[in-house]
Chains A and B, each alone.
Chain A
Amino acid sequence: MSDEPNKGLLSPLRRKLLMGMAAVPAITMLPRASFAQAPATSAVNTTGLAVTDTEVTVGILHSATGTMAISETGSIEAEKLAIEQINAMGGVLGRKIKFIQEDGASDWPTFAEKAKKLLVNDKVAAIMGCWTSASRKAVLPVMEQYNGMLYYPTFYEGLEQSKNVIYTGQEATQQILAGLNWIAKEKGAKSFFFIGSDYIWPRTSNKIARKHVENVLKGKVVGEEYYPLGNTQFNSVINKIKLTKPDVIFTDVVGGSNVAFYKQLKAAGIDLSKQALLTISVTEDEIDGIGGENIAGAYACMKYFQSLDNPNNKAFVPAFKKMWGEKTVIGDVTQAAYLGPWLWKLTVEKAGSFDIDKIAAASPGVEFKGAPEGYVRIHENHHLWSKTRVGRAKLDGQFELIYETADLVEPDPFPKGYQ
């Protein structure tokens, strides 16, 4: 029974959600095309996707089990919320979105298997999914072979571009460069110490950061260390930090390791209100585990914080909490996942078709004015134009917005001079 999809609609929260939706002003800013007479299925679906006169099926493919479940749950929730909201507005081209959820189980080959199942068996019109780079790398060949459309939410290392993927998170330069510029200017930082988890994303990010520090900011990288995923012993690197006294600690340590890292940092007497620390891997979700008191004062470089003060976000946060509980926090990736169904809907309506090729072609230039992070637009390279923001962690686990770029930052997955 792959039809768990309608679970969201049966949810007792639905009524509450719909009531909450009434207060969503952002919605009114969205195109109303979906209320128009629905076009014939034969016209909008020429490649045999799962589109009927009343319904269109999409896939949700994240880890609901395994080590990544804790991170990916937020994305699943955001995608379901977006789908509910779109359906409440009349759906896409007059069709309600039905979703089939599959579990990638934090296991990359399983992601590939399930992606194939969604495309080949279920003929889904789009997949909202993946989180880690490894899962995306596993799914990518499947998407390209069977011509699917993936909306991928996580900030990632770049060096990739595909007709069959829309990257709704930031690629590395979008996330890193503006943050480094800001901290160099604001704190007069000259020396940096890099600490990362040992896999492709931190390594690529640090490579870009190093080039930027050395070539553009004319600063110095005084240390660069990597630890295996899940590592919990950071004492030796903390000693090195004490010896080298960098102006900035720049970290991309991921997952559970963060908890140990910040606790040990605090225990070693490094006071984050005096020692500048810039992280590109800690969102509100991670602080939930780390504890606000252990990380307060640290700077994070993201494109979205739950505390953003704009009308879209003020509607989004309560709607999310209505659906998933008051205690949930919304991190950068959760917001990016929320963009996926919306961008897909807008693109389908622009293309006037569910066909993958037409969506791929119509994607560049699609703009979403209702994004909680503010206005976003899809670039020719299938990444998003979005702002870079720096926030400072507070005791209550939220970020205080310190800086944001004046303009949208252009996505540049293959940055010249940074390779």
Chain B
Amino acid sequence: MINSRFFNRSELIGFIALAAVLFVILPLTLDVFRLNLVAKYLTYAFVAIGLVLCWGYGGILSLGQGVFFGLGGYCMAMFLKLEASSVENTKIQSTPGIPDFMDWNQITSLPLFWQPFHSLTFTILAIILVPGLFALIIGTAMFKRRVGGTYFAIITQAVAAILTILIIGQQGYTGGINGMTDLRTLKGWDIRPDHAKVILYFVEVVLLFACIGIAQFIRLTKLGRILVAMREQEDRVRFSGYSVANFKIFAFCMAAVFAAIGGAMFALNVGFMSPSFVGIVPSIEMVIYTAVGGRMSIFGAIWGAILVNFAKTSLSESFPQLWLFGLGALFIAVVLAFPNGLSGLWADYVQPRIDRLFASRKSKTDWKDNSVADGAPAE
């Protein structure tokens, strides 16, 4: 009963399908290497959920999600790097006990802002709070001044560029363009062997479903409806007495936190963090995953993140010289042919058939009702 209220029928199907694939089918059919790759793809699914909330529902296009993905990832990586840089692991260095890249850059003691990352509790809090607060600052500065739309997108891009330059420039503190590599253990638990990868995969999938739950909850509350209303007619919402800026800030912060969780899981699963996930290009890629999957649909966006990344891997394995063209063609085809992404395709072609199967019950699940109708004034 709860499900039928929390998810409508098509969402329930989507939920069950995703759960079946991620919890059962993939772990049973893939070897650990491929499963670990799926775990990597799923880290982008977190970003995609955030983008559905903030872009699909709230209409706020952020081209800087890589910033939050990166902040989350770097927080996690700093903790892991400190643990990997124990005195005995680093005795070959001029200053043992500090991360290797600091030693290469003639830094002789651990900088102050690294110190708290010895604590896992602090790190987990930081993964949520640092990107959350950063988004709050950007959001407040922008939305309170009613900067929106394209200008906001450009500013988020600028932030992504600035953060990348900062990370690369301060290589003694951040590892520079090399990033933080060779992450080994989490509280003494080796994250590199196969069984650890499997456990991390399941942890990640559970977290992903938790995020799906949160996002779905937000969508169904009044808050979600206000977001959609804002996207459609911002002024009317404002004249109705709502503080549009606060709602926007909230959506943007949520998207940032989701992206940061994805980033942290990335550092754990891949054992690696580098500025190449922070900049403009990865940020735009993240928007593309969401667009391909369908920005109006949480499940669509998740599938978008998985499938686009899968295509990226398999195309590049098969055609090392040409794969980028193939990927480009795929994006153009999807955007031209199915502007609502994969979820639009599902709603137009697959959904009607399923509805016919359920013909005994009166069908009211036209796609438009599913996702956009949340903005309808009454239910």
Contact = CB atoms under 8 A, between A and B. Distances in A.
A6 interface: no
A350 interface: no
A65 interface: yes
Contacts of B32: 120
A102 B169 contact: no
Contacts of B317: 2, 102, 114, 117
A65 B323 contact: yes
A35 interface: no
A71 to B, nearest CB: 15
B339 interface: no
Nearest to B316: A103
Interface string A71-112: 000000000000000000000000000000111010111101
B276 A102 contact: no
Contact of B106 (A120, A207, A414): A207
B272 A109 contact: yes
B47 to A, nearest CB: 15
Contact of A199 (B31, B176, B270): B176
Contacts of A4: 318-320
Interface string B104-128: 1110000000000000000000000
Interface stretch (A135-143, A306-314, A376-384): A135-143
Interface string A401-416: 0000000000000100
A395 interface: no
Most buried by A among B33, B169, B178, B323: B178
Contacts of A138: 178-179, 181, 272, 274
Contacts of A102: 316-317, 320
Interface in A150-193: 157, 159
B37 A199 contact: no
Contacts of A112: 270-272
Nearest to A111: B272
A103 B323 contact: yes
A204 B171 CA distance: 12
Contacts of A110: 316
B182 interface: yes
A134 B182 contact: no
A54 to B, nearest CB: 24
A103 B321 contact: yes
Given A2-B317, A64-B321, A140-B181, A200 B276 contact: no
A1 interface: yes
A107 B31 CA distance: 24
A110 B165 CA distance: 21
A157 B100 CA distance: 13
Contacts of B272: 108-109, 112, 138
B313 A65 contact: no
A288 interface: no
A23 interface: no
Given A108-B274, A141-B182, A228-B165, A121 B104 contact: no
Interface in B171-226: 171, 176-179, 181-182, 184, 192
Contact of B101 (A65, A109, A141, A200): A200
Contacts of A65: 320-321, 323-324
Contacts, number: 103
A293 interface: no
Contacts of B274: 108-109, 134, 138
A210 to B, nearest CB: 11
A159 B105 CA distance: 12
A4 B323 CA distance: 13
A141 B181 contact: yes
Contacts of A117: 33, 317
B248 interface: no
A228 B272 CA distance: 22
Nearest to A139: B181
Interface in B118-176: 165, 168-169, 171, 176
A113 B40 contact: yes
A29 interface: no
Interface in A1-28: 1-2, 4
Given A105-B316, A113-B40, A198-B169, A121 B179 contact: no
A108 B104 CA distance: 19
A200 B176 contact: yes
Contacts of B92: 414
A322 interface: no
A419 B94 contact: yes
A113 B37 contact: yes
A114 B323 CA distance: 14
A405 B168 CA distance: 36
A134 B179 contact: yes
Contact of B320 (A101, A134, A419): A101
Contact of A109 (B31, B104, B171, B270): B270
B276 A109 contact: yes
Contact of B178 (A141, A159, A199): A199
Contacts of B316: 102-103, 105, 110, 114
A32 B179 CA distance: 45
A103 B182 CA distance: 21
A38 interface: no
Contacts of A113: 37, 40, 270, 313
Most buried by A among B33, B101, B181, B271: B181
Given A134-B177, A138-B179, A199 B171 contact: yes
A378 B272 CA distance: 30
B105 A203 contact: yes
B46 to A, nearest CB: 17
Contacts of B277: 109
A392 interface: no
Nearest to A66: B324
A110 B184 CA distance: 19
Contacts of B270: 109, 112-113
A133 interface: yes
Given A117-B33, A134-B274, A1 B318 contact: yes
B33 A120 contact: yes
B198 to A, nearest CB: 14
Contacts of A133: 178
A108 B276 contact: yes
Given A103-B321, A108-B179, A109-B272, A159 B104 contact: yes
11 contacts: A108-B274, A109-B274, A121-B31, A134-B178, A138-B272, A141-B271, A157-B104, A198-B168, A203-B104, A207-B106, A228-B169
The 10 closest A-B pairs by CB, nearest first: A103-B320, A134-B178, A120-B33, A141-B182, A137-B181, A1-B318, A64-B320, A137-B178, A64-B321, A199-B177
Interface of B: 31-33, 37, 40, 92, 94, 101, 104-106, 165, 168-169, 171, 176-179, 181-182, 184, 192, 270-272, 274, 276-277, 313, 316-321, 323-324
Given A2-B317, A103-B320, 12 more contacts: A65-B321, A102-B320, A108-B276, A112-B271, A114-B317, A116-B33, A133-B178, A134-B179, A138-B179, A138-B181, A200-B101, A414-B92
